[in-house]
Structure 1
Amino acid sequence: MTLLQRALFIAFAITAAWPSLAAEKVTVGVLRFVSSAPLFIAQERGYFAAEGLEVEFKFFQAAQPIAVAIASGDADFGVTAFTSGFFNLAGQGALKVIGAQSREEPGFDFSAVLASKTAYDHGLKSIEQLKGRTLAITTPGSSFHYMIGALGLKRGWPKDAVQLRSLQTPANMIGALKSSQVDAAILPAFLAKPLIAANEAHLLGWVHAEIPYQLGGLFTSSKNAKDRRPVVEKFVRAYQRAAADYSGALNARDAQGKRVFGPEADPIIAIIIKYVPNQTPEKVKDAANFIDPQGRLNVGDIHAQVAYFKSQGIVDQGVDAKTFIDVSFIKGHFNIPK
């Protein structure tokens, strides 16, 4: 073989091998929320690229369309809150939950139970006194719906103990609370704290002090989990690296258990602000809910959510959480039912 032939052979071999070296393209359905932060961190810090993935974000305005996009193959991965609609779709075999988004964790203020000023002035001073009152939610089957339901189950209340008012959006919930059209609402800290500071609502308690709650998860299609397992494993590894970064920066607490935000929080906050509109560093800190540093799920709580929504008649009776939670991609998930 001449020198020229050898050079041409090597060039051909490199060219032939190139497709196997090219990055795997994946699309991720995502909301512009602080709870989506591990996705943004993994993208900005090159964790996806390090796993050989070329990630494109597809931004949505609500959670349910993301689940539909994953199920239909229009996107490969998603991170959103769990809803009754999500569970019904997952129960049909279309989705696999493979990791955690955020959860309520003791010591991390996220979901606040609030009383309107009028209701508070007329005796609504605690969560126990919500029985017989009106409470704003977005829609049936939402995270707001589940939280008040779980608070009621803890106390043994009947199904209709609290009268729910479906108002579609958090903005409408805030308006109804401020004008005392409802007695109470559950709102995330970044929305609740300004209301409390302005004396437009009163804090009755924090959800994390009352109940466990796995708010959402990382999921993919059942087809991806089965047929593209190496790609899913790569994505999960990158997501876990980013979740660990988030946790180290925004989940830190001092010896007294108080949340602290050191200098390592600043670059993480800057990444979040790049993707989430209308944020400031202080707003991000208020909105930074707990995310497990390894992306581990409270599996038993997802089972509890499915059971609750079944009891409300808004999740099909045949839905079984065991069929759509895949614990094989991440080790150490919590509270796995036997």
Structure 2
Amino acid sequence: MKRGLFAWAFAGLSAAAALPAFAQTPVSVGILSAVSDAPLFIADKRGYFRDEGLAVSMTVFRSGATMVAPLGAGQLDVGAGSASAGLYNAIARGINIKIVADKASSAPGYGATKLLVRKDLIDSGRFKTIKDLKGMKIGMNAPGVSNTSTLNSILTAAGLKYSDVETVNLNFPDHVAALANKSIDAACTVEPPATSAITAGTAVEIMRDDQADPHHQIAVIQFSEAFAARKDIADRFMRAYLRGSRYYNKALKDGRLAGETADDVIQILTEYTPVKNRDILRRMTPTGMDPNGTVNQKSLQKDLDFYASQGLIEGKIDLDKIVDNSFAERAAKALGPYK
């Protein structure tokens, strides 16, 4: 996997064989080096991009929001991250970025975003129900991103407001240490840090995203305006991406990476992400992912409305002009029904 200029830190083979040969076309992709980037890593490792004549380079960004500027400037072709308030504000300013496919969503049993509470607060009786979160410090990662909407759904269902808690923004891996040293009381965090904290005995899982907000659209694939206009190349990219997504889906079983392709997917994740502990990868709750890449626009609208209620949206946003499922639809049709 190549590192690019903007780095912050660090369907079957038979179907592919029927595709025509192409010259290797460079495509730049922004990633988070997260488990939900698995389809991209799989497509790279297993040669799906190469089958489509693409030379894909992946650049690690700190967050989806930091991909927006290079996407808008055409310095990045594809972004893989959350549909954040920052993305919507950039679009409101005239930057034409398209949301084109699902990257992570909370299908039943696959809620990889979790609300954790410190175990000592549960043992002491300080925390008994969601209502006891009032006044607590909750670890988040940034305002205007998908897990803030998850937390809001959890709080409002219990009769609380988002303002009833104090949010503390930390990088997701830092949530584990913050729970252990008691600098936060709870965390709305993601996998695998969630399982790391639970395994360490410092936190207890209270609720998952698939329980609080079923089918929540957590992260998406985004195309820059220039890349979307190169329809043939964009279609080739999407075919390779969906092949990776379908291979990932075959690794899912009973809310774990325990399916047919799990061993291979876990090996790929240890090669492409900072997570080297295979046991954690086997024990965690993996994110869901639509094998046809369909974006849940209703879920995006719910998040957008919450961001707006927080005063984070600067202009009028029409998701009908931003979400474009046509690339995923063509790719799914070319690959055939997912089995």
Task: Name the TM-score class by shorter chain.
Answer: 0.7 to 0.9
Give the superposition deviation at 1:129: 3.0
What letter corresponds to residue 52 of structure 1 in structure 2?
G
- Compared CA separation, residues 264 and 21, structure 1 to 2 (3 A): closer
- Compared CA separation, residues 220 and 164, structure 1 to 2 (3 A): same
Give the superposition deviation at 1:260: 6.1
Residues 104 and 219, structure 2, Cα contact 8 Å, conserved in 1: yes
The residue aligned with 1:127 is: 130
What letter corresponds to residue 158 of structure 1 in structure 2?
K
Residue of 238, 241, 245 corresponding to 1:239:
241
**Structure 2 residue 273 is matched with structure 1 residue 276:** yes
Give the superposition deviation at 1:171: 4.2
Residues 26 and 56, structure 1, Cα contact 8 Å, conserved in 2: yes
Distance (whole Å) between structure 1 residues aligned to residue 275 and residue 191 of structure 2: 16
Distance (whole Å) between structure 2 residues aligned to residue 59 and residue 259 of structure 1: 26
- Compared CA separation, residues 282 and 79, structure 1 to 2 (3 A): same
Distance (whole Å) between structure 2 residues aligned to residue 278 and residue 209 of structure 1: 26
Q: State the number of aligned residues.
A: 306
Give the superposition deviation at 1:263: 5.1
Give the superposition deviation at 1:82: 2.6
The residue aligned with 1:141 is: 144
Distance (whole Å) between structure 2 residues aligned to residue 25 and residue 243 of structure 1: 21
Give the superposition deviation at 1:60: 2.5
Name the SS of the counterpart of 1:331 in structure 2.
helix
Distance (whole Å) between structure 1 residues aligned to residue 54 and residue 142 of structure 2: 36
- Compared CA separation, residues 64 and 109, structure 1 to 2 (3 A): closer
The residue aligned with 1:158 is: 161
Give the superposition deviation at 1:37: 0.9
The residue aligned with 2:227 is: 224
The residue aligned with 1:311 is: 309
Greater alpha carbon shift after TM alignment, 137-146 vs 91-100: 137-146
Residues 195 and 280, structure 2, Cα contact 8 Å, conserved in 1: no
- Compared CA separation, residues 312 and 53, structure 1 to 2 (3 A): same
Distance (whole Å) between structure 2 residues aligned to residue 219 and residue 102 of structure 1: 13
Distance (whole Å) between structure 1 residues aligned to residue 234 and residue 141 of structure 2: 33
Distance (whole Å) between structure 2 residues aligned to residue 70 and residue 108 of structure 1: 29
Coordinate RMSD, CA, aligned: 2.3
Any residues of structure 2 matched to 1:36-55 within 5 Å, and which?
A: 36-55=37-56
Distance (whole Å) between structure 2 residues aligned to residue 193 and residue 46 of structure 1: 31
Give the superposition deviation at 1:147: 1.8
Distance (whole Å) between structure 1 residues aligned to residue 29 and residue 46 of structure 2: 17
**Structure 2 residue 96 is matched with structure 1 residue 94:** yes
Distance (whole Å) between structure 2 residues aligned to residue 134 and residue 277 of structure 1: 27
Give the superposition deviation at 1:66: 1.9
Give the superposition deviation at 1:72: 1.0
Unaligned runs of 5+ in 2: 1-20, 331-339
Residues 245 and 289, structure 2, Cα contact 8 Å, conserved in 1: yes
Name the SS of the counterpart of 1:235 in structure 2.
helix
Give the superposition deviation at 1:223: 3.0
Greater alpha carbon shift after TM alignment, 200-209 vs 230-239: 200-209
Summarize deviations over 1:87-143 as a string: whole Å, max 9, x none.
222333421000010111221241221112343223312324323433222222233
What letter corresponds to residue 282 of structure 1 in structure 2?
D
Residues 137 and 186, structure 1, Cα contact 8 Å, conserved in 2: yes
Identity of aligned residues (%): 27
Distance (whole Å) between structure 2 residues aligned to residue 234 and residue 113 of structure 1: 38
Say which one has the larger Rg.
Answer: 1
Distance (whole Å) between structure 1 residues aligned to residue 157 and residue 279 of structure 2: 33
Name the SS of the counterpart of 1:318 in structure 2.
coil
Distance (whole Å) between structure 1 residues aligned to residue 22 and residue 189 of structure 2: 47
The residue aligned with 2:78 is: 77
The residue aligned with 2:194 is: 192
The residue aligned with 1:291 is: 289
Residues 29 and 69, structure 1, Cα contact 8 Å, conserved in 2: no
**Structure 2 residue 29 is matched with structure 1 residue 28:** yes
Distance (whole Å) between structure 2 residues aligned to residue 126 and residue 317 of structure 1: 37
The residue aligned with 1:61 is: 62
The residue aligned with 1:113 is: 115
The residue aligned with 2:181 is: 179
Give the superposition deviation at 1:31: 2.1
Name the SS of the counterpart of 1:215 in structure 2.
strand
Distance (whole Å) between structure 2 residues aligned to residue 317 and residue 252 of structure 1: 42
Distance (whole Å) between structure 1 residues aligned to residue 105 and residue 91 of structure 2: 20
What letter corresponds to residue 261 of structure 2 in structure 1?
E
The residue aligned with 1:203 is: 205
TM-score normalised by structure 2 residue count: 0.82
What letter corresponds to residue 314 of structure 2 in structure 1?
D
Greater alpha carbon shift after TM alignment, 309-318 vs 117-126: 117-126
Distance (whole Å) between structure 2 residues aligned to residue 142 and residue 311 of structure 1: 13
